[in-house]
Amino acid sequence: MALCGGFFDLDSLKKQIDDLSELSESEDLWQDQQKARDVMRKKSQLEAEINKFLRAESDFVDLKDILDLAEKENDSVLLLEIENDIKKLADYMKIYQLESFFSGEADQNSCYLEIHAGAGGTEAQDWAQMLLRMYSRWSESHKYAVDIIEESIGEEAGIKSTTVRINGVKAYGWLKGESGVHRLVRISPFDSNARRHTSFASIGVYPVVDESINIEIRDCDLRIDTYRSSGAGGQHVNKTESAIRITHIPTGIVVQCQTDRSQHRNRAIAFEMLRSRLYELELRKKEEQNDSIHKNEIGWGRQIRSYVMQPYQMVKDLRTGFEKGNITAVLDGDLDEFLQASVINGATKDSNDTAT
């Protein structure tokens, strides 16, 4: 069964589920709790894929039967309803087809999203805050939960940096293409002369990885610091050194967490984030790509997307060429078309690399 350049092999998926079901009934499996959880998660993911396909197939058959009836009775009202339902089914299948490109080891996972304000003080920090709101709105619209792991508040407005965890199936698959520098052009609300300003902020997206993905971290390669949490919070949060910062010395990667009152819990989350960052770094090495987000200047010539509010309104992705004039909707979280174009662009690139 063809599916957007690939094939949906229903029989193969059913056999995999049967094999996993048989494995889950083994007493030996449950002696290793992590392996058991991995097996059950994989089984649930495969069952969800089959159910999505069967839903689409069932909807298609029902619409075809109703369409035949409406045409036979020349029911114009029913025909209009069916037309709308067909458009909804087509949109559903488009997303389903795009997700067939999510073949990476961690594409099904939740993800961490980091935002760092570029140079420019308050203006750039306000732009970073706007991006946080944009991704939070997008996540909410897709029923993904957003947890703030760390946040550094700007002196006057906005944020200097933040790390959030976006929890949901395929969150990383959809958002991994958002890594890069995002540029905003607007009349600054912080400029009394109402001049046009250009601001930059960087986005980094990393998959949440579990114990099934082996990432070696040596104690001798780490520097672990504790500090007091900043920003809003209770007396305990702000008056005790419960926040954790971990520096991975060989790579220079720094992660920090201040989300919990417990230092031990913050340490565990920080280690999870470090594993994710190191995993992402390995992926980039395999793809012979350089992680330029934090090593290079966040500024001109490095942006992947431009958001222009003045002198005209336009959001344009510089990699895919996709653009949209309704910048207000985009900043409210209407990112789906940009993400879809990114997935197609990534799949095309992978196809060309394979052919080469």
d(CA 96, CA 49): 9
Which of helix, strand or coil describes residue 149? strand
pLDDT given for residue 29 in this prediction: 78
In a domain, 129, yes or no: yes
Residue 199's pLDDT band, with cuts at 50, 70 and 90, is very high
- Tell which of 67, 99, 131 closes a domain: 99
DSSP secondary structure string for all residues of 5-67? TEE--HHHHHHHHHHHHHHHT-TTGGGSHHHHHHHHHHHHHHHHHHHHHHHHHHHHHHHHHHH
- Tell which of 66, 99, 132 closes a domain: 99
Rg (CA), the chain: 23
48: containing domain: 2-99
Which of 265, 270, 256 minimizes the C-alpha distance to 228? Answer: 256
Question: What is the average per-residue pLDDT within 175-203?
Answer: 91
CA angle 294, 228, 159 (to 5 degrees): 45
**Is the same domain home to 82 and 174?**
no
Q: Give the chain's domain count.
A: 2
Which 8-state DSSP code applies to residue 247? E
pLDDT digits (tens, 9 = 90+) for 139-185: 999 999 999 999 999 888 999 999 999 999 899 999 999 999 999 99
Kindly report whether the global pTM for this prediction surpasses the value 0.85. Answer: no
In which element (H, E) is residue 352 found? helix 336-355
**Is the same domain home to 183 and 295?**
yes
Which of 179, 197, 175 minimizes the C-alpha distance to 304? Answer: 179
CATH (domain of 142): 3.30.70.1660
**Is the same domain home to 60 and 131?**
no
**Is the same domain home to 256 and 116?**
yes
DSSP secondary structure string for all residues of 88-120? HHHHHHHHHHHHTT--STTTTS-EEEEEEE-SS
**Is the same domain home to 126 and 89?**
no
Pseudo-torsion of CA 95, 96, 102, 103, nearest 10°?
-160
pLDDT digits (tens, 9 = 90+) for 281-327: 887 776 654 444 444 456 555 689 999 998 899 999 999 999 999 99
Long-range contacts of 350-355 (CB under 8 A, 24+ apart): 351/5
**Is the same domain home to 268 and 347?**
yes
In a domain, 106, yes or no: no
**Is the same domain home to 83 and 177?**
no
**Is the same domain home to 186 and 263?**
yes
**Is the same domain home to 141 and 71?**
no
108 burial via Cβ count (<10 Å: 0-12, 13-18, 19+): buried
CB neighbour list of residue 339: distance below 8 Å, 6 or more residues apart: 174, 175, 177, 178
In a domain, 282, yes or no: yes
**Is the same domain home to 345 and 218?**
yes
In a domain, 104, yes or no: no
In a domain, 105, yes or no: no
Residue at token pair 């400029």: 191
- Tell which of 76, 99, 122 closes a domain: 99
Mean of pLDDT over the chain: 84
CATH (domain of 78): 1.20.58.410
**Is the same domain home to 154 and 284?**
yes
Residue 271 above 80 pLDDT? yes
**Is the same domain home to 316 and 276?**
yes
pLDDT digits (tens, 9 = 90+) for 90-149: 888 888 888 888 878 789 889 999 999 998 789 999 999 999 999 999 999 999 999 999
